């Protein structure tokens, strides 16, 4: 038994150390000398060693790391972590404001919350009753990776929320970054140890968080900045500005460079000022984020398939550099597109060494008059993809040569054609190895069929040795086929065959995305899967059927229809099905037929028969939607024990209120 006095002392020490961590790491205003902090910490360590039952998940002693993991577990997000649409100039910011006011039906200026856009790794931290229970990467926005043990080691991630007023449940979202000075120091250490230096602070931060050995993460100089939440239960917040103040009070670092403005003019000025001071920040930022401040207005504005309507990212002008074009090559992609690529003398652009850059298409090469041997200005578009901006003709010597697009594919020798009305030439070779290799890599990628172990070099061998002439051949590979390959032992072969076997039952949305249909990304693949429910129905859908799917326009519908009308594609799919591939149908019912389709629920107070998450899952499984705030568009407010102000607001707006028994009866009726 632990004496009550020691139990109370351990709790006091935890709270004291959390408080002083907050003063030191978040506020940069320590109250006590390092020696006094060390004394408190040692006392807590000794207590927990003497009485292990005193250890708690939020104890500051738990930041040291955990035994290495074999792999990260998937971590679904209860509320999707959507991407933001980009504004590349001030005109696009003003267009965003016009769209917001038009949607809200107002001519009045909108209040915006403005903040820097951190260039790091987006993560989500889940707290129950003030204690950190999970940390996850953003992933594809719907499902990330569980990296809790690593995020616990980041000093600016609170293990427990400060203050007496904390929510029952909150998903705190933000960015893990590495300060620029710390990044350079880490790279010097990497080089001294004979290790490869990191390309930039963002890569260093992402690589550090995704270490299977959390003790490595613990040694990395990482910081976390909060910028929003997903779920928030047990607390009412009216504005984003108030939310950020709450986050700061709970112990999170939030940007001190935030600003609230009335109208878009102030937001534009904020972006100008921040970009001009970009290099003064101690960490990398690549733009500003502008958000509608009122959370109820955010709820009204809602979201599209990939991004909220109430926020936009203003992107800074990308970093540029000058280098020389050594050659221009024709590169063949997985759809057969033949793209001119500049081979460059290596140069550092924004901390990344660039040796190749896209030239987009032959018309673009001609328009910019890019020649082999030219000195050119390059930039990283969106600070990521290298591209050639312009040539420097004043530096020409006369030895430069113009680029001529080849008539035949440099990989398979088939004829290159340029379809009428398109800017990009395409290889006509149906069995072109370059296309096949790229298609297989895409098909096996993590966000598609997720076939672990099927890397680039192995794909090259499979195609070059004739073991895989079509994606469907993957599902007929045996251990005997794989063992003779280079760097492929029996265990590796067995693991790969097992990974391929697991992929046979991936869900329909992943399978559709894996097929590599032009213009069909993850969000569109998910929408198609939910609308049609089965592969057979999707394959037989007409363009008219496809156009009825939200966010599917004429270009996407035409591309999907053309893909499934191609006999070779249907034959490949037939062979996959014959080999045991059975894409799993969506778990949610088709929206138009769901019993609660179009119905919006809000919960307030504690439910006795189930948790809030379980109630939300029950509603969504029947096609309904759960939101966090009450508006005139809310269909039902479900009231449990000790309800908050949402119940009163529902009465004021005339929104139907359900008791817990009435809610359960509604679920029973809807379930049939």
What is the DSSP secondary structure assignment for residue 171, as one 8-state letter? Answer: E
Return d(Cα 321, Cα 323) in angstroms, integer. Answer: 7
State the CB neighbour count (10 A cutoff) for residue 487: 9
Q: Give whole-number Cα distances, 666 to 22, 604, 618, 658, 659, in Å.
A: 46, 17, 11, 9, 11
Record the tokens describing residue 606, joined without a space.
């504690």
Q: What three-state secondary structure class fits 378? A: strand
Return d(Cα 481, Cα 495) in angstroms, integer. Answer: 13
* Cβ-proximal residues to 268 (8 Å cutoff; 6+ apart), any chain: 90, 93, 94
- Comparing C-alpha atoms, which of 175, 99, 228, 106 is closest to residue 628? 228
Query: 513's torsion region: left (phi>0), alpha (psi -120 to 50) or beta?
Result: alpha
Return d(Cα 500, Cα 444) in angstroms, integer. Answer: 9
Strand partners for 339: 331
Return d(Cα 210, Cα 205) in angstroms, integer. Answer: 9
**DSSP codes, 562-585:** HHHH-HHHHHHHHHHHHTT--PBP
- Comparing C-alpha atoms, which of 585, 465, 564 is closest to residue 518? 564
Return d(Cα 171, Cα 180) in angstroms, integer. Answer: 28
Return d(Cα 303, Cα 627) in angstroms, integer. Answer: 13
Return d(Cα 180, Cα 347) in angstroms, integer. Answer: 20
- Comparing C-alpha atoms, which of 347, 323, 322, 326 is closest to residue 400? 326
Return d(Cα 234, Cα 628) in angstroms, integer. Answer: 10
- Comparing C-alpha atoms, which of 74, 49, 71 is closest to residue 59? 49
Return d(Cα 53, Cα 210) in angstroms, integer. Answer: 30
DSSP run (H or E) holding 321: strand 320-332
**DSSP codes, 325-355:** EEEEEEEE-TTSBEEEEEEEEEEEETTEEEE
Alpha-carbon torsion, ordered 603, 609, 613, 619, to 10 deg: -70
* 368 catalytic per annotation: no
Return d(Cα 432, Cα 330) in angstroms, integer. Answer: 14
Q: Which positions are annotated as active-site residues?
A: 117
């Amino acid at each position: 038994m632990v004496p009550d006095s020691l139990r109370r002392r351990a709790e006091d020490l935890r709270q004291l150390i959390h408080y002083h961590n907050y003063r030191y790491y978040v506020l940069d205003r320590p109250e006590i000398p390092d020696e006094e902090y060390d004394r408190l910490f040692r006392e807590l360590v000794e207590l927990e060693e003497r009485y292990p039952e005193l250890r708690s998940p939020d104890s500051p002693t738990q930041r040291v790391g955990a035994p290495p993991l074999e792999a990260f577990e998937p971590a679904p997000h209860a509320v999707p972590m959507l991407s933001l649409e980009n504004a590349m100039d001030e005109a696009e910011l003003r267009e965003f404001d016009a769209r917001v006011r038009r949607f809200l039906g107002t001519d009045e200026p909108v209040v915006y919350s403005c903040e820097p856009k951190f260039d790091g790794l987006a993560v989500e931290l889940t707290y129950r009753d003030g204690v950190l229970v999970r940390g996850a990467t953003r992933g594809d926005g719907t499902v990330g990776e569980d990296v809790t043990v690593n995020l616990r080691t980041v000093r600016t991630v609170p293990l427990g929320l400060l203050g007496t007023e904390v929510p029952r449940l909150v998903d705190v979202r933000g960015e893990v970054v590495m300060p620029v000075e710390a990044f350079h120091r880490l790279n010097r250490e990497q080089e001294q140890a004979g290790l490869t230096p990191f390309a930039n602070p963002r890569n260093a931060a992402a690589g550090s968080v995704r270490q299977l050995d959390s003790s490595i993460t613990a040694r990395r100089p990482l910081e976390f900045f909060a910028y929003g939440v997903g779920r928030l239960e047990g607390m009412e917040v009216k504005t984003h500005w108030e939310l950020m103040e709450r986050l700061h009070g709970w112990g999170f670092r939030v940007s001190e460079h935030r600003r609230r403005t009335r109208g878009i003019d102030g937001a534009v000025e904020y972006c100008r000022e921040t970009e001009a001071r970009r290099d003064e920040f101690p960490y990398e930022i690549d733009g500003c984020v502008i958000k509608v401040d009122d959370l109820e207005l955010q709820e009204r504005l809602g979201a599209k398939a990939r991004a909220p309507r109430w926020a936009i990212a203003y992107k800074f002008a990308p970093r540029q550099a000058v280098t020389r074009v050594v050659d221009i090559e024709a590169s063949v992609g997985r759809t057969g597109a033949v793209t001119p690529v500049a081979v460059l003398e290596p140069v550092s652009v924004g901390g990344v060494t660039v040796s190749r850059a896209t030239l987009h298409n032959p018309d673009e090469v001609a328009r910019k008059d890019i020649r082999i041997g030219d000195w050119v200005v390059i930039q990283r578009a969106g600070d990521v993809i290298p591209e050639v901006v312009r040539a420097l003709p004043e530096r020409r010597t006369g030895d430069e040569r113009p680029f001529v697009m080849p008539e035949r594919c440099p990989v398979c020798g088939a004829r290159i054609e340029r379809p009428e009305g398109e800017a990009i030439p395409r290889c006509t070779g149906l069995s072109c190895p370059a296309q096949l290799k790229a298609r297989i890599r895409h098909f096996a990628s993590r966000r598609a069929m997720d076939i672990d172990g099927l890397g680039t070099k192995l794909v090259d061998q499979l195609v070059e040795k004739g073991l895989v002439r079509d994606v469907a051949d993957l599902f007929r590979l045996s251990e005997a086929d794989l063992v003779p390959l280079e760097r492929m032992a029996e265990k590796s072969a067995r693991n790969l065959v097992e990974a391929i076997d697991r992929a046979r039952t991936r869900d329909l949305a992943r399978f559709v995305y894996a097929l590599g249909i032009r213009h069909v990304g993850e969000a569109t693949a998910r929408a198609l899967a939910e609308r049609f429910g089965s592969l057979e129905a999707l394959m037989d859908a007409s363009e008219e059927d496809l156009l009825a799917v939200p966010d599917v326009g004429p270009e996407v519908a035409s591309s999907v229809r053309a893909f499934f009308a191609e006999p070779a594609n249907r034959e490949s799919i037939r062979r996959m099905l014959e080999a045991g591939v059975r894409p799993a149908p969506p778990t949610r019912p088709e929206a138009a037929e769901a019993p609660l389709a179009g119905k919006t629920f809000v919960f307030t107070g504690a439910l006795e028969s189930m948790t809030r998450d379980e109630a939300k899952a029950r509603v969504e499984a029947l096609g309904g939607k759960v939101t966090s705030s009450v508006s005139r568009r809310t269909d039902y407010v479900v009231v449990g024990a000790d309800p908050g102000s949402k119940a009163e607001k529902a009465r004021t707006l005339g929104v139907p209120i359900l008791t817990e028994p009435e809610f359960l009866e509604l679920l029973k009726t809807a379930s049939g």
